[in-house]
Structure 1
Amino acid sequence: MSVDVERVTSVPSLPKRSSEAHKGQFGHVLVVAGGRGMAGAAGLVGAAALRSGAGLVRVASPSEVQPVVATFEPSYMTYPLPQDSEGLIDFPAAAPTLGRLIDPADVLAIGPGLGRSRGLDAMVRWIAEEGDKPAVIDADALNALVETPEVLRKVSRPIVVTPHPGEFARMTGATADEVQADREARAVAFASGVEHLVVVLKGHGTIVTDGRRLFVNKTGNPGMATGGSGDVLTGVIAALIGQGLSPFDASVLGVHAHGLAGDIARSHSGEVGLIAGDIVDALADSFEALGALG
């Protein structure tokens, strides 16, 4: 199927930093992620956001998970949320704390490792519908949107969704094979039907589209097909939005820098041995190579 959109080939960059810069100028990212057995997902998002230039990162996760998340990286702050018997965030009990954390944030990153429950689905819908902060929605949080796709059409805030082909198939009522056979057209069609939405369809040649523009990424390698790689991307894109890039530009630069970090990591670890933490560690070199940070 042909796709009638503007094809974007250039990658945006971040402005060089002033010698008088301070952390308040580079965005406050709130990460809502993690559940029992999935603390690493929250840690990867938070660490990736820091390595992508965020001035301040806060990570909110269930109370039993929070101490584990805190051990991964001392440079972000962590906050415990009420949890249910399954070790997942208990919503609406967590709503007051979440409201206080959301208020000062510039951008939200929601989903990795959350798990599934009716309460969590309600939480994702509540976060999406309330307020006007941009949000990057990934992983388990996408499943809440599968159940109530009309939510995306109601929100006025910028939303970036970052599904892999299986998740996108569930969001659109297709099969994963159908998505893969017509990736560009399906991503464009979905994004063009929802105002303020950017779709990042992950995979070989990750696609970024807002329904009017289309970018196909050229960086990355098969070694990045490893658990947690997508969590890293969520943190990267959120950090770039927090630094002032539009959701579309942040997504384009984010997928490109993320893929380049994977290529750099491969040069050290090889494809077979590459893990998501290697990608986080390579983000600084990736942005340096792109000249995106001064």
Structure 2
Amino acid sequence: METLNGSPPLPERPANGHKGTFGRALIAAGSRGMSGAAALAGLGALRSGAGLVSVAVPAGLVPVVGSIEPSYLLLPLPEDDEGRTSGEAEEMLRVASVEASAVAIGPGWGRCEALERIASSLFVSLAGPLVVDADALNALAAVGTLDSDSVTDGERVLTPHPGEMARLLGTDVSSVEADRQGLAAELAIRSGAVVVLKGAGTVITDGRRQVINETGNSGLATGGSGDVLTGLVTGLLARGMRSFDAAWLGVHLHGLAADLASWELGQSGLIASDLPDWIPAAWCAIGDEGGGGNVSGEN
């Protein structure tokens, strides 16, 4: 296993670019009582520099999510009696995914058999880049859809916290924490995905290379911070970065935004909705001022 150090690569940002140049991110998220997850993931995607961000939510959530950020494109989805995305939404998401440069599923979704089917189907068959987070990870764990032999060539990023990681591998949290790097690599090899194992010293690995992130602080231990990260990584994929590089840069920026915010707000006072406001400062701190940059050719 090669451990990479230094700074992550930056995506290209040509001076003559337009919305289409910088990609379209699609975030499928939220359920009744969890509208914030969709909104936070959408904000993370917007702050990635993606050209367009579509947020697909159960129809009843459209007014509240739309009121949080006017920059979103909103896709109302059929919902069940519990306010979750229903099985009827699968074809709508599949059609919307064709127009998207990258897709994320899972934040605030809730759990039910219909969402298990949707998550499994998209993970296996979606041709483009896909970020799988939160309840979509729990869905994959429930149905056992992880082996890379059944997955298309589309790029995949899995973003588990230790509890979700334990469910995906059929183990317990203490075992995950005892071998974070080894188990992250195991999951990456098994699934063919880049794995982002969140926590202090977040591990990013594709099974051949790894990065141990050094940005961030305990202020990130707050509900919704992972949703912002999911959107940020999805937006970077939409901009054309490969999965390992997008995950590396997204985790670095996310942690750096928390570090910058904590200097003014403190770690105890930091909440997830602060993070998108500090991502621009994180971009500036790593030297992205609107031009140049490069994208690694490796996956």
TM-score past 0.5 threshold: yes
TM-score (norm 1): 0.95
1:195-244: CA deviations, max 9, x gaps? 2x100000000000000001000000001100000000001111111111
Q: Percent identity?
A: 48
The equivalent residue for 2:281 is 285
Deviation at 1:100, TM superposition (A): 2.6
In 1, the alpha carbon distance for the partners of 2:125 and 2:11 equals 31
The match for 2:70 among 74, 77, 81 is 74
Query: Partner of 2:99: helix, strand, or coil?
Result: coil
The match for 1:181 among 178, 182, 202 is 178
- For the 8 Å contact 1:145–1:152, the answer to whether it is kept is no
Q: Which moved more, 1:142-151 or 1:217-226?
A: 142-151
Instruction: Point out where structure 2 has 5 or more consecutive residues left out of the alignment.
Output: 291-299
Residue type of the alignment partner of 1:285: A
In 1, the alpha carbon distance for the partners of 2:282 and 2:226 equals 17
Query: Partner of 2:95: helix, strand, or coil?
Result: helix
1:101 aligns with 2:99: no
- For the 8 Å contact 2:120–2:145, the answer to whether it is kept is no
The match for 2:163 among 161, 166, 173 is 166
Identify if the C-alpha distance between structure 1 residues 15 and 246 changes in structure 2 by more than 3 Å, giving closer, same or farther: closer
Residue type of the alignment partner of 2:15: S
Deviation at 1:15, TM superposition (A): 4.2
The equivalent residue for 2:200 is 204
Q: Which moved more, 1:16-25 or 1:114-123?
A: 16-25
1:150 aligns with 2:121: no
TM-score (norm 2): 0.93
- For the 8 Å contact 1:113–1:139, the answer to whether it is kept is yes
Residue type of the alignment partner of 2:262: R
In 2, the alpha carbon distance for the partners of 1:34 and 1:45 equals 10
The equivalent residue for 2:293 is none
Query: Partner of 1:109: helix, strand, or coil?
Result: strand
Cα RMSD (Å): 1.2
Deviation at 1:18, TM superposition (A): 2.5
Aligned length: 288
- For the 8 Å contact 1:15–1:293, the answer to whether it is kept is no
Residue type of the alignment partner of 1:216: I
Query: Partner of 1:65: helix, strand, or coil?
Result: helix
Instruction: Point out where structure 1 has 5 or more consecutive residues left out of the alignment.
Output: none
In 1, the alpha carbon distance for the partners of 2:183 and 2:279 equals 30
In 1, the alpha carbon distance for the partners of 2:67 and 2:147 equals 35
1:245-292: CA deviations, max 9, x gaps? 110000011101100000011112111110001111100110111113
Query: Partner of 1:20: helix, strand, or coil?
Result: coil
Residue type of the alignment partner of 1:137: V
In 1, the alpha carbon distance for the partners of 2:288 and 2:162 equals 29
